[in-house]
Chain A
Amino acid sequence: AQTVTQSQPEMSVQEAETVTLSCTYDTSESDYYLFWYKQPPSRQMILVIRQEAYKQQNATENRFSVNFQKAAKSFSLKISDSQLGDAAMYFCALTGNQFYFGTGTSLTVIP
Protein backbone atom coordinates (compact mmCIF):
# COMPACT_ATOMS: atom_id res chain seq x y z
CA ALA A 1 0.00 0.00 0.00
CA GLN A 2 1.04 3.57 -0.63
CA THR A 3 0.30 6.57 1.54
CA VAL A 4 1.21 10.22 1.28
CA THR A 5 0.88 12.54 4.27
CA GLN A 6 0.99 16.31 4.36
CA SER A 7 0.75 17.49 7.96
CA GLN A 8 0.33 21.20 7.22
CA PRO A 9 -3.18 22.02 5.98
CA GLU A 10 -2.32 25.71 5.69
CA MET A 11 0.87 27.73 5.48
CA SER A 12 1.61 31.39 4.91
CA VAL A 13 4.73 33.24 3.85
CA GLN A 14 5.72 36.84 3.34
CA GLU A 15 6.44 37.82 -0.21
CA ALA A 16 10.14 37.33 -1.06
CA GLU A 17 10.66 35.01 1.92
CA THR A 18 11.24 31.26 1.95
CA VAL A 19 8.76 28.58 2.95
CA THR A 20 9.04 24.82 3.31
CA LEU A 21 6.13 22.43 2.82
CA SER A 22 6.37 19.00 4.40
CA CYS A 23 5.50 15.59 3.00
CA THR A 24 6.07 12.06 4.21
CA TYR A 25 5.20 8.91 2.38
CA ASP A 26 5.18 5.16 2.60
CA THR A 27 5.44 2.63 -0.18
CA SER A 28 6.34 -0.99 -0.67
CA GLU A 29 7.66 -0.35 -4.16
CA SER A 30 11.35 0.09 -4.86
CA ASP A 31 10.89 1.97 -8.13
CA TYR A 32 8.88 5.09 -7.46
CA TYR A 33 8.79 8.78 -8.14
CA LEU A 34 7.78 11.77 -6.09
CA PHE A 35 6.17 14.96 -7.28
CA TRP A 36 4.94 18.29 -6.07
CA TYR A 37 1.96 19.70 -7.91
CA LYS A 38 0.38 23.11 -7.60
CA GLN A 39 -3.35 23.64 -8.01
CA PRO A 40 -4.49 27.26 -8.37
CA PRO A 41 -8.18 28.23 -8.13
CA SER A 42 -8.59 27.26 -11.79
CA ARG A 43 -8.13 23.64 -10.62
CA GLN A 44 -5.56 22.92 -13.33
CA MET A 45 -2.81 20.70 -11.91
CA ILE A 46 0.63 22.16 -12.56
CA LEU A 47 3.80 20.13 -12.09
CA VAL A 48 6.23 21.96 -9.83
CA ILE A 49 9.04 19.46 -9.43
CA ARG A 50 9.81 15.76 -9.77
CA GLN A 51 12.23 13.48 -7.94
CA GLU A 52 13.29 10.01 -8.94
CA ALA A 53 13.67 7.84 -5.84
CA TYR A 54 16.84 6.23 -7.16
CA LYS A 55 18.58 9.59 -7.40
CA GLN A 56 20.32 10.88 -4.30
CA GLN A 57 20.66 14.42 -5.60
CA ASN A 58 17.82 16.70 -4.65
CA ALA A 59 15.84 18.09 -7.57
CA THR A 60 15.75 21.83 -8.15
CA GLU A 61 13.67 23.94 -10.51
CA ASN A 62 14.42 27.64 -10.35
CA ARG A 63 13.00 28.88 -7.02
CA PHE A 64 11.72 25.43 -6.09
CA SER A 65 13.83 22.73 -4.52
CA VAL A 66 13.23 19.55 -2.57
CA ASN A 67 14.83 17.89 0.40
CA PHE A 68 14.51 14.19 -0.30
CA GLN A 69 15.36 11.93 2.63
CA LYS A 70 14.77 8.43 1.34
CA ALA A 71 15.49 6.56 4.57
CA ALA A 72 13.11 8.83 6.47
CA LYS A 73 10.60 8.75 3.58
CA SER A 74 10.43 12.50 3.63
CA PHE A 75 10.05 14.81 0.65
CA SER A 76 9.74 18.49 1.49
CA LEU A 77 9.39 21.40 -0.93
CA LYS A 78 11.22 24.67 -0.43
CA ILE A 79 10.01 27.77 -2.20
CA SER A 80 12.52 30.61 -2.22
CA ASP A 81 11.79 34.27 -2.94
CA SER A 82 8.06 33.62 -2.67
CA GLN A 83 5.84 35.44 -5.14
CA LEU A 84 2.16 36.28 -5.06
CA GLY A 85 1.61 33.85 -7.91
CA ASP A 86 2.83 31.00 -5.73
CA ALA A 87 -0.37 31.12 -3.70
CA ALA A 88 -2.22 27.87 -4.35
CA MET A 89 -2.88 24.38 -3.03
CA TYR A 90 0.24 22.24 -3.12
CA PHE A 91 0.00 18.49 -3.33
CA CYS A 92 2.72 15.96 -2.77
CA ALA A 93 2.30 12.86 -4.92
CA LEU A 94 3.82 9.41 -5.16
CA THR A 95 3.75 7.19 -8.20
CA GLY A 96 4.69 3.64 -8.87
CA ASN A 97 2.00 1.39 -10.26
CA GLN A 98 -0.64 3.78 -8.94
CA PHE A 99 -0.54 7.53 -8.38
CA TYR A 100 -1.56 8.88 -4.99
CA PHE A 101 -1.81 12.39 -3.62
CA GLY A 102 -1.39 13.83 -0.17
CA THR A 103 -4.11 15.90 1.49
CA GLY A 104 -2.65 19.18 0.32
CA THR A 105 -1.27 22.37 1.83
CA SER A 106 -2.92 25.69 1.14
CA LEU A 107 -0.22 28.33 0.72
CA THR A 108 -0.97 32.00 1.23
CA VAL A 109 1.55 34.62 0.16
CA ILE A 110 1.31 37.86 2.12
CA PRO A 111 2.27 41.03 0.23
Chain B
Amino acid sequence: GAVVSQHPSWVICKSGTSVKIECRSLDFQATTMFWYRQFPKQSLMLMATSNEGSKATYEQGVEKDKFLINHASLTLSTLTVTSAHPEDSSFYICSARTGKRSTIYFGEGSWLTVV
Protein backbone atom coordinates (compact mmCIF):
# COMPACT_ATOMS: atom_id res chain seq x y z
CA GLY B 1 0.00 0.00 0.00
CA ALA B 2 0.88 3.66 -0.12
CA VAL B 3 3.52 4.88 2.29
CA VAL B 4 3.85 8.14 4.15
CA SER B 5 7.17 8.75 5.85
CA GLN B 6 7.53 11.20 8.69
CA HIS B 7 10.86 12.41 9.99
CA PRO B 8 12.24 12.69 12.59
CA SER B 9 10.53 10.13 14.80
CA TRP B 10 11.97 11.72 17.91
CA VAL B 11 13.37 15.18 18.45
CA ILE B 12 14.50 17.07 21.50
CA CYS B 13 15.11 20.78 21.23
CA LYS B 14 15.87 23.65 23.53
CA SER B 15 13.25 26.16 24.47
CA GLY B 16 13.26 29.10 22.08
CA THR B 17 14.61 27.20 19.10
CA SER B 18 12.73 26.03 16.01
CA VAL B 19 12.26 22.48 14.84
CA LYS B 20 11.09 21.12 11.48
CA ILE B 21 9.14 17.92 10.91
CA GLU B 22 8.86 16.46 7.42
CA CYS B 23 6.05 14.42 5.94
CA ARG B 24 6.70 12.66 2.63
CA SER B 25 4.45 10.58 0.44
CA LEU B 26 6.81 7.99 -1.00
CA ASP B 27 4.80 6.45 -3.81
CA PHE B 28 1.91 8.76 -4.55
CA GLN B 29 1.19 12.42 -5.10
CA ALA B 30 -0.42 13.96 -2.06
CA THR B 31 -2.61 16.86 -3.09
CA THR B 32 -3.71 17.29 0.50
CA MET B 33 -1.86 16.71 3.74
CA PHE B 34 -3.22 17.04 7.26
CA TRP B 35 -1.26 17.81 10.41
CA TYR B 36 -2.39 16.67 13.84
CA ARG B 37 -1.29 16.98 17.40
CA GLN B 38 -2.05 14.26 19.91
CA PHE B 39 -1.77 14.57 23.68
CA PRO B 40 -1.43 11.45 25.83
CA LYS B 41 -4.60 9.38 25.92
CA GLN B 42 -6.43 11.87 23.75
CA SER B 43 -7.62 12.02 20.19
CA LEU B 44 -5.92 13.54 17.18
CA MET B 45 -6.50 17.27 17.06
CA LEU B 46 -6.49 18.65 13.53
CA MET B 47 -4.08 21.57 13.35
CA ALA B 48 -4.20 22.44 9.67
CA THR B 49 -5.08 21.24 6.20
CA SER B 50 -2.43 21.75 3.57
CA ASN B 51 -3.09 21.72 -0.16
CA GLU B 52 -0.15 21.61 -2.53
CA GLY B 53 0.84 25.01 -3.80
CA SER B 54 -1.43 27.01 -1.54
CA LYS B 55 -1.43 28.32 2.00
CA ALA B 56 -2.46 25.97 4.75
CA THR B 57 -5.86 26.30 6.35
CA TYR B 58 -5.47 26.40 10.11
CA GLU B 59 -8.04 25.25 12.62
CA GLN B 60 -9.38 27.73 15.11
CA GLY B 61 -7.03 28.22 18.02
CA VAL B 62 -3.91 27.09 16.19
CA GLU B 63 -1.28 29.81 15.90
CA LYS B 64 -0.25 30.00 12.27
CA ASP B 65 2.85 32.04 13.07
CA LYS B 66 4.01 29.43 15.53
CA PHE B 67 3.20 26.33 13.53
CA LEU B 68 4.42 27.03 10.02
CA ILE B 69 3.19 24.59 7.42
CA ASN B 70 4.61 24.38 3.94
CA HIS B 71 3.39 22.11 1.16
CA ALA B 72 5.62 23.11 -1.72
CA SER B 73 5.47 19.86 -3.65
CA LEU B 74 3.11 16.95 -4.18
CA THR B 75 5.28 14.68 -2.06
CA LEU B 76 6.45 16.87 0.79
CA SER B 77 4.89 18.92 3.55
CA THR B 78 6.74 20.38 6.51
CA LEU B 79 5.66 21.56 9.94
CA THR B 80 7.98 24.00 11.65
CA VAL B 81 7.44 24.73 15.31
CA THR B 82 8.95 28.15 15.86
CA SER B 83 10.27 29.45 19.17
CA ALA B 84 9.35 26.17 20.79
CA HIS B 85 8.30 26.05 24.43
CA PRO B 86 7.85 23.08 26.77
CA GLU B 87 4.07 23.23 26.28
CA ASP B 88 4.63 22.46 22.60
CA SER B 89 5.95 19.03 23.58
CA SER B 90 3.62 16.51 22.03
CA PHE B 91 3.14 13.82 19.42
CA TYR B 92 2.68 15.26 15.93
CA ILE B 93 1.34 13.15 13.09
CA CYS B 94 0.66 13.83 9.43
CA SER B 95 -1.60 12.18 6.91
CA ALA B 96 -1.91 12.48 3.16
CA ARG B 97 -4.32 11.73 0.33
CA THR B 98 -4.39 12.06 -3.44
CA GLY B 99 -7.91 13.38 -3.65
CA LYS B 100 -11.05 13.94 -1.67
CA ARG B 101 -12.34 10.43 -2.37
CA SER B 102 -9.08 8.60 -1.82
CA THR B 103 -7.85 6.65 1.15
CA ILE B 104 -5.86 8.63 3.68
CA TYR B 105 -2.45 7.39 4.77
CA PHE B 106 -0.65 8.27 7.96
CA GLY B 107 2.95 8.91 8.81
CA GLU B 108 4.54 7.23 11.78
CA GLY B 109 4.38 10.35 13.91
CA SER B 110 6.99 12.51 15.58
CA TRP B 111 7.61 12.94 19.28
CA LEU B 112 8.71 16.46 20.12
CA THR B 113 10.20 17.25 23.51
CA VAL B 114 11.12 20.83 24.30
CA VAL B 115 13.49 21.26 27.24
Residues on A close to B: CB < 8 A? Answer: 31, 33, 35, 37, 43-45, 47, 50, 52, 91, 95-104
Contacts and interface: CB of A to CB of B under 8 A. Distances in A.
Interface residues of B, number: 19
Nearest to A4: B43
A52 to B, nearest CB: 8
A98 B108 CA distance: 20
B34 interface: yes
B95 to A, nearest CB: 7
A33 B43 contact: no
B46 interface: yes
A87 to B, nearest CB: 15
Nearest to A95: B104
A91 B43 contact: yes
Contact of A99 (B42, B101, B104): B104
B49 A103 contact: no
Contacts of B54: none
Contacts of A91: 43-44
Nearest to A102: B43
A31 B100 contact: yes
Contacts of B57: 98
A98 B58 CA distance: 10
Interface in B92-115: 93, 95, 100-101, 103-104, 106, 108-109
Contacts of A33: 101
16 contacts: A33-B101, A37-B106, A43-B38, A43-B93, A43-B108, A44-B108, A45-B95, A47-B103, A47-B104, A97-B49, A98-B46, A98-B49, A99-B104, A101-B43, A104-B42, A104-B43
